[in-house]
Amino acid sequence: MILDEYALSQKIRKAREMRNYTQSYMAQELEISTRAYSKLESGETRLSVKRLYQIAELLETSVYEFLLLDKADLRALKLKSSANNTDASSQNGILELKALLEKLLEDEA
């Protein structure tokens, strides 16, 4: 399963806006420049697993919430996939993503 980095960055932006946090606030808390944060949120700069965890913590959510497929993601998969059972393939994709995330965390440690 390929993670859509733009979709991930948009989920982060929406979560930030729901908390009424500014990009400046997020940047300050992450100890980076506002421009650097803006690039993360726009998808111009790739997120590391560590940074994704920091952002999730600031936004009081879990990394899994950002990575889980939403209805729009499922529709896109359904259009791309010839499989009839989207729910089963989504579950497999989520489990695969979780395993990859855990491996990345181990590699960064």
The pLDDT value recorded for residue 75 is: 58
Q: Concatenate the DSSP letters of all residues of 5-25 into one string.
A: HHHHHHHHHHHHHHTT--HHH
The mean pLDDT of 68-79, rounded to a whole number, is 60
Residues 99, 87 contacting (CB under 8 angstroms):
no
CA–CA distance, 51 with 105 (Å, rounded to integer): 11
Three-state DSSP state, 100:
helix
Provide the whole-model pTM. Answer: 0.63
In this predicted structure, which of 67-71, 74-78, 92-96 has the lowest mean pLDDT?
74-78
Burial class (CB in 10 A: 0-12, 13-18, 19+), 9: buried
- Sequence spans of domains, the chain: 5-108
pLDDT tens profile 28-60: 999 999 999 999 999 899 888 999 999 999 999
CATH class of 5-108: mainly alpha
